[in-house]
């Protein structure tokens, strides 16, 4: 039975994600009166802090990472926080943690934002302290393993203590408003669905470009790389939302059933359909930045950029290429989906010297949140030298269309859904496993071909081979 949790146990409570995202999100929800009145939040991590120490720690994080206009009732929020130090790898301490959470009246939500190596011992500890009993639910932050096998191990360990209906795997892209809007665009409008298929769509591009480099995540990132860090989860989820059949309703089972069908229909991408890169020193926004190897302090074969061509082998998407590209230290931060339609089958303007260009739909996910549809229009004039047609954009900026609503960070939505028990925007086990299966095959191809990343200058759009990858199909990346 569903319930709204009145206890939230936060593992990794002193970590980077907690400071930048989780605490600010919870505080913002509290400010807006959206947290259950009785909700108590128990932070836990290795650091030896008491409740007051943690409240001070949290205050500092909120002052650093939260916009001033959303900090309104910070003191009240801080009062909800308590803290229990814990070494997650040993059983000692879990009972104290359980005592600190003290059961509550309705139930407990647990959120693991820790290294994946701690998932299994944490589950053991939680079980030992009775914290998996009753209706407790658990949220898991990525990475969920490094390949299919390790992901299965984690999933098995979690499944030994929690049924799937109480496991909430986070992909924070699903918490983004613009990502959810993809579903509204596709399924709340009659316009697109009839032409949303191989008959009318020539190709799709998904770009997730970042300007940041390694940041402080040396240990994690170098063992991961762009394919596993971004494509395995966020980009495949975007692809699934673009490609899925209409679910029968907006609920967890219906939506995830449709997404997993797409993920399972992904054809193995060949090594020749991929390009990997690693950035070298360059400049971003006019500022010099070091190369990946310099930031890392050693040579590495980890890719900080990947571009690839994917195919979804089903009736709707037969022969439609999907070009995916993501990288660090690219010229700008942008996440967007470009749906390139086919040209009109026959142009009535050809005899007047005018050329048509195919329509294009660009869905801006971040930082610009917009939907831009390019249409052909006649340029004004008497056409005495022939008709001139030009592509003009129909551009809807979401913030303008919805003034007066504030933009929430993805974790606000996801944490609230975890507390209230709505799994729609969380990733089901079969999805994660289908994602890994496809990624593992690409990585196996790279290993077999001894593929090492090419270099690219920080501030460029990756190795030139990425441009060639699309161009050999007559496609240009959408870079403007
Ligand atoms: C994370 C990756 O999942 O997503 C990071 O581990 C990446 O490497 C981040 O920077 C990007 O998220 P966003 O929301 O800034 O696009």
First to last CA, the chain: 49
Find the 340 Cα to ligand 1 centroid distance in Å. 26
Query: CB of 221 within 8 A of CB of 320?
Result: no
Q: For residue range 394-445, what is the model confidence (pLDDT) as tens digits?
A: 998 888 888 777 778 899 999 999 999 999 999 999 999 999 999 999 999 9
Per CATH, the number for 7-141 is: 3.40.50.720
pLDDT at position 290 is: 97
Beta bridge partners of residue 395, listed in sequence order: 372
Q: What is the pTM of this model?
A: 0.96
Residue from 25, 170, 180, 234 to probe ligand 1 pocket by mutation (most atoms less than 8 Å from CB): 234
Domains 7-141 and 174-406+428-471 share a fold: no
Task: Please state the rounded mean pLDDT for residues 357-361.
Answer: 97
Domains of the chain, by residue range, sit at 7-141, 174-406+428-471
What is the residue-wise DSSP string for 80-105? TEEEEE--TTSSTTHHHHHHHHT--S
Residues 293, 472 contacting (CB under 8 angstroms): no
Ligand 1 center–CA 141 separation, angstroms: 12
Instruction: Place 469 in a pLDDT band, splitting at 50, 70 and 90.
Output: very high
Annotated catalytic residue within 203, 234, 355, 406: 234
Q: Residue 1 — very low, low, confident or very high, per pLDDT cuts 50/70/90?
A: low
What residues form DSSP beta bridges with 311? Answer: 321
Say how many Å lie between the CA of residue 172 and the centre of ligand 1: 8
As given in the structure block, the two tokens for residue 11 are: 């593992």
Which of 213, 228, 229 maximizes ligand 1 atoms within 8 Å of its Cβ, making it the mutation to test the pocket?
Answer: 229
pLDDT tens-digit map of 210-263: 999 988 888 889 999 999 999 999 999 999 999 999 999 999 999 999 999 999
355 as an active site residue: the answer is no
pLDDT in tens, 123-145: 999 999 999 998 999 999 998 99
- Per-residue model confidence as pLDDT tens digits over 147-202: 999 999 999 999 999 999 999 999 999 999 999 999 999 999 999 999 999 999 99
Q: In the CATH hierarchy, which top-level class contains the domain 174-406+428-471?
A: alpha beta
Per-residue pLDDT of 90-105, as tens digits, reads: 999 999 999 999 877 8
**Chain Cα centroid distance, residue 77:** 27
Q: What is the mean pLDDT of the chain?
A: 95
Q: What is the DSSP letter of 34?
A: -
Q: Looking at residues 42-46, what average pLDDT do you find?
A: 97
Confidence of residue 480 (pLDDT cuts 50, 70, 90): low
Burial 90-113 (b: 16+ CB within 10 A, else e): eeebbeebbebbeebebbbbbbbb
Which tokens hold the place of 267? Answer: 């054809």
Pocket flag, ligand 1, residue 412 (CB < 6 Å): no
């Amino acid at each position: 039975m569903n319930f709204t949790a009145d206890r939230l146990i936060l593992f990794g409570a002193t970590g980077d994600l907690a400071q930048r995202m989780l605490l600010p999100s919870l505080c913002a929800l509290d400010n807006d009166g959206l947290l259950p009145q009785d909700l108590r939040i128990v932070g836990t991590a290795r650091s030896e802090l008491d409740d007051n120490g943690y409240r001070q720690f949290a205050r500092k994080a909120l002052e650093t990472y939260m916009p001033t206009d959303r900090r309104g009732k910070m003191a009240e929020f801080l009062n909800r926080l308590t803290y229990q130090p814990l070494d997650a790898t040993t059983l000692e301490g879990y009972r104290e943690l359980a005592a600190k959470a003290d059961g509550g009246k309705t139930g407990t939500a647990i959120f693991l934002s820790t290294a994946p190596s701690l998932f299994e011992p944490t589950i053991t500890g939680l079980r030992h302290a009775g914290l998996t009993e009753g209706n407790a639910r658990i949220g898991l932050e990525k990475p969920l393993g490094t390949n299919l096998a390790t992901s299965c191990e984690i999933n098995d360990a979690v499944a030994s203590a929690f049924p799937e209906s109480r496991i909430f795997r986070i992909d924070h892209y699903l918490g983004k408003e613009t990502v959810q809007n993809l579903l509204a665009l596709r399924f709340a409008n009659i316009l697109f669905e009839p032409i949303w298929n191989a008959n009318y769509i020539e190709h799709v591009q998904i770009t997730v470009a970042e300007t940041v480099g390694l940041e402080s995540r040396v240990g994690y990132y170098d063992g991961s790389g762009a394919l596993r860090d971004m494509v395995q989860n966020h980009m495949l989820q975007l692809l699934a939302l673009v490609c899925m059949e209409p679910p029968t309703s907006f609920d967890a089972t219906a939506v995830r059933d449709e997404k997993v069908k797409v993920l399972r229909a992904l054809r193995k991408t060949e090594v020749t359909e991929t390009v990997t890169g690693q950035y070298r020193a360059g400049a971003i926004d006019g500022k010099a930045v070091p190369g990946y190897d310099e930031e890392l302090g050693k040579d590495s074969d980890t890719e900080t950029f990947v571009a690839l061509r994917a195919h979804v082998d089903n009736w709707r998407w037969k022969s439609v290429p999907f070009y995916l590209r993501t990288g660090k230290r690219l010229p700008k931060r942008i996440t967007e989906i470009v749906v390139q339609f086919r040209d009109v089958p026959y142009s009535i303007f050809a005899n007047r010297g005018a050329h048509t260009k195919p329509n294009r739909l660009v869905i801006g996910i971040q930082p610009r949140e917009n939907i831009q549809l390019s249409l052909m229009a006649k340029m004004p004039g008497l056409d005495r030298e022939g008709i001139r047609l030009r592509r003009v954009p129909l551009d809807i900026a979401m913030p303008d269309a919805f003034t007066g609503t504030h933009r929430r960070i993805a974790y606000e939505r996801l944490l609230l859904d975890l507390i209230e028990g709505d799994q729609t925007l969380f990733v089901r086990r079969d999805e994660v496993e289908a994602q890994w299966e496809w990624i593992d095959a690409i990585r196996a191809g790279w290993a077999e071909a001894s593929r090492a990343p090419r270099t690219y200058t920080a501030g460029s759009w990756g190795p030139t081979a990425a441009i060639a990858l699309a161009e050999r199909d007559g496609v240009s990346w959408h870079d403007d």
